[in-house]
Amino acid sequence: MPSDEFAQGMALIEKRQQNLTEIENKIRKLLDDLTDEKISVAIYLNSVRLLRKPTGAEKTTPVPKPEQKIEIKEPIISKTKPPKISKAKETIPKPKPKVIKTEPPADKSELKKVPKMSVVLRETPVTLSEAEVKAMLKKHDFFCADYKWTRAWSNPHGKGITHSYIEQTLHGDKVVLDKATGLMWQKSGSSNYMTYAEAKKYIRDLNNDNKPFAGLIGWRLPTLEEAMSLMEPRKQDDMYINPMFGQKQGWIWTADKYSASSAWLVTFDDGYCGLYDVHYYGYYVRAVR
């Protein structure tokens, strides 16, 4: 075993050292007696010292060095607390009010506001006598041609009112706005003759909720004074009405009656107002609102 050989080597070295020590003591004693021979003795001693080194055959197994323990240093952990990161308080943003954007109508004429009217006309239907019609025509200075059948209420010297018409197209339907009265009229009107009852049905159809005329409701038969406001004192293109309006509707029903069986009408062909039987099939409708 390596450990036994090591022990034997150490014992042999120890023994040799003891012998050498004894020899060295003896030499020292001789040196004291033999001063003259110090040099030779010194040489001798040097040779003896050389004997302390073991020969090649006597070389001992080197003492193994103890294993060095590798010290693993633990990482230094700082005990200081990391700085606190202040978190901003989470705030719930208040909802912004929704802004609803409305697209402008395709026809910019729809944006035109009804101006302040200069002439106020009655819009509620009533029953009118001949005298009341004459007084109304005089009040508004409306023109009404003098014929044998209109002499009781005619006003041939009436000058009418100064109009300011604006033609518009709303949802594909043409209308005329009168800035003087604030009234909006159909540019044309019904395409066929009608009785008075059919005229009322025509008005109901204009106010159909699904597709009202010009996208608007509130259409109605005009009162006599509203219809007479369109009358011009002189013919324009063979009719007593501004040529901006349709020329087909030369005779129109009004909402005012003379009796249960007759109603007032307006004719732009001959420039007057009259009354006729409600069952007569021979007049058009030009609605107003």
Q: How many CB atoms lie within 10 A of CB 281?
A: 11
Average pLDDT of the residues of the chain: 80
Overall pTM surpassing 0.75 (yes/no): no
Contact 189, 285 (CB under 8 A): yes
> 91-105, 128-142, 185-199, 212-226: which has the minimum mean pLDDT?
91-105
Measured CA to CA in angstroms, residue 29 lies from 17, 24, 32, 44 at distances of 18, 9, 5, 14
Residue 103, pLDDT > 80, answer no
CA distance 165 to 179: 6
Rounded CA-CA distance 147/155 in Å is: 10
Distance, CA of 134 to CA of 125 (rounded, Å): 17
Helix (H) or strand (E) holding 201: helix 196-206
* pLDDT tens sequence across 16-61: 777 777 777 777 776 666 655 555 555 555 655 655 554 444 444 4
The least confident of 60-69, 95-104, 149-158, 241-250 is: 95-104
- Tokens representing 73 are 């240093």
Q: In what order do the strands lie in the sheet with 173-178?
A: 165-170, 173-178, 183-186
pLDDT digits (tens, 9 = 90+) for 184-197: 999 999 999 999 99
Report the alpha-carbon angle 83-89-93, nearest 5: 150
Which of 241, 238, 237 shows the shortest CA–CA distance to 222?
Answer: 241
Alpha carbons 70 and 91: distance in angstroms, whole number: 57
Residue in 271, 270, 267, 272 with CA at minimum distance from that of residue 286:
267
At 162, give phi and psi (nearest 5°).
-85, 115
pLDDT at 2: 53
**Which residue type occupies 37?**
E
Kindly state the average pLDDT of the residues 119-134. 96
- pLDDT value of position 22: 77
80-93 per-position pLDDT tens digit: 554 554 444 445 55
Cα dist. 177→104, 109, 246 in Å?
A: 20, 11, 14
